[in-house]
Structure 1
Amino acid sequence: MNRSKNLRLWLVLCVALLLAAGLGWMRFANPTGTPQAPPGNLAGASLGGPFTLTNQHGQTVRDTDFAGRWRLMYFGYGFCPDVCPTDLALIGRGLAAFEAQDAGRAATVAPIFITIDPERDTPAVLKPFVASFHPRLVGLTGTPEQITAVSRRFGVYAKRMDTGDPENYLMDHSAMVYLFDPDGKPVAFLPHQGLTAAAVAELLTTHVR
């Protein structure tokens, strides 16, 4: 009888030790105790990379300036008649909703707009344009060569469409919202189709930790 009790006690102690070891490993792997975010639809993709551009204040900005911050990115152009301003307005509202929900986490998000039309989108043009969508939105432009390079690295399609007026051409381009993590790795994207402020806020709530 005593032998049976001792065996049961030994088994209980073994289970307790295994559970304690498991919990300790989990705390070591995730010391903050914050639940890990699920992988996004861009996990493992090769998008992104280094860039050197100019912001709306005429200052040189590099990808490394955003190190340690989440990057909510959108490529478009200031003379876009419909898609870009609509998407940027939704991005701004979605980020504002996330800020109201969790100001601490939202402060780690850098909203970034990169033009695909550097000929017209000068810093002077970008400054009032980006300010109309969110006070923290960074507008980036550069030389045609710089913009072509960064567009390729981020998998962005862009093509000039002549309208017969050299000053009022249009740009055909892909339209989506990108989220990159603090290490600059792609996490997820939202396409233009069906984009809403709520979807942007949910994207940030889900992944930003």
Structure 2
Amino acid sequence: MTATDTRSPLARARLWLWALVGIVAFALGTLLAIQWLKPAQGAAGTTAPSDIGTRFTLVDRDGKPVTPQTLKGTPYAIFFGFTRCPDICPTTLNRMAHLRKAMGKDGEKFRIVFVSVDTGHDKPADVGAYVDLFGTPILGLTGSEQQIADAAKSFRVFYQKVPVEGGDYTIDHSAFVVLMDRDGHMQSLLSDHDSDASAIADLRRLIA
């Protein structure tokens, strides 16, 4: 027997509307962030805005504060998401683990950092347990709602809660990885449209 959707037409329409709003907001946020973050192609001397990633305080799995000063000295690749994310987050973190492995010893010369934007579900220990699933060292961070908002603003990252049936929510968020050099300056972005060869080339430039 096939299950029947007993929701009213109005309820179904509202659900579809929220889903559409979330998709549009996610696409727009990602597009704007990429346009804002990435230097113009071929423009001599262009650089990313100098304040990206310079103002945030988050916490690691043990509740210890992590700031830009904490991360200085080692290049890092930072990605924002949430542990209940069904696709973008595990795909991105798995890919980063794969890229690191493909780089051999050079893969040990940069950090991978994951920031959960889901303060309602992801506590520091939850984020720590999540990043352990990917088989490579990943620094998992989170914080209060204000701390997350400040960090996302600093890295020009978009995220937005989207209500789902049952009173819960999912989160739409930017899907790019920001590459930060050892001095805490943004160098470039990685996206799922980049080939592995292109991404590895960017990572090798990052650690040079």
What TM bracket, shorter-length normalisation?
0.7 to 0.9
Distance 1:134 1:74, change over 3 A: farther
- Where 1:145 maps in the other structure, the secondary structure is helix
Match of 2:48 among 38, 41, 44: 44
Matched, 1:64 2:69: yes
| 8 Å contact kept, 1:77–1:115 | yes
Structure 1 gap ranges (5+): 1-39
1:119 alignment counterpart: 120
1:53 alignment counterpart: 58
Distance 1:116 1:199, change over 3 A: farther
1:205 alignment counterpart: 204
Distance 1:133 1:197, change over 3 A: farther
Listed one character per residue, the Cα deviations across residues 121-147 of structure 1 (whole Å, up to 9, x for unaligned) are 111211221011243100000000000
| Counterpart AA for 1:200 | A
| 8 Å contact kept, 1:91–1:200 | no
CA-based RMSD: 1.9
- Paired residue total: 164
User: 1:76, CA displacement in angstroms?
Assistant: 0.7
Listed one character per residue, the Cα deviations across residues 148-170 of structure 1 (whole Å, up to 9, x for unaligned) are 01101110010000003234x11
- Where 1:132 maps in the other structure, the secondary structure is helix
Matched, 1:170 2:177: no
Matched, 1:107 2:108: yes
TM-score with structure 1 length normalisation?
A: 0.72
Distance 1:162 1:92, change over 3 A: same
- Where 2:134 maps in the other structure, the secondary structure is coil
Distance 1:78 1:195, change over 3 A: farther
| 8 Å contact kept, 1:56–1:124 | yes
TM-score with structure 2 length normalisation?
A: 0.72
User: 1:205, CA displacement in angstroms?
Assistant: 1.7
Q: Which moved more, 1:182-191 or 1:46-55?
A: 46-55
User: 1:108, CA displacement in angstroms?
Assistant: 3.0
1:181 alignment counterpart: 181
| Counterpart AA for 1:85 | P
User: 1:199, CA displacement in angstroms?
Assistant: 4.0
Distance in 1, matches of 2:166 and 2:90, equals 22
Distance in 1, matches of 2:196 and 2:127, equals 22
| 8 Å contact kept, 1:74–1:176 | yes
Distance 1:50 1:163, change over 3 A: same
Distance 1:56 1:207, change over 3 A: same
Distance in 2, matches of 1:64 and 1:112, equals 14
- Where 1:48 maps in the other structure, the secondary structure is coil
Distance in 1, matches of 2:127 and 2:48, equals 32
| 8 Å contact kept, 1:48–1:154 | yes
User: 1:107, CA displacement in angstroms?
Assistant: 3.2
User: 1:195, CA displacement in angstroms?
Assistant: 4.5
- Where 1:87 maps in the other structure, the secondary structure is helix
| Counterpart AA for 1:207 | L
Matched, 1:94 2:86: no
| 8 Å contact kept, 1:41–1:188 | yes
User: 1:48, CA displacement in angstroms?
Assistant: 1.5
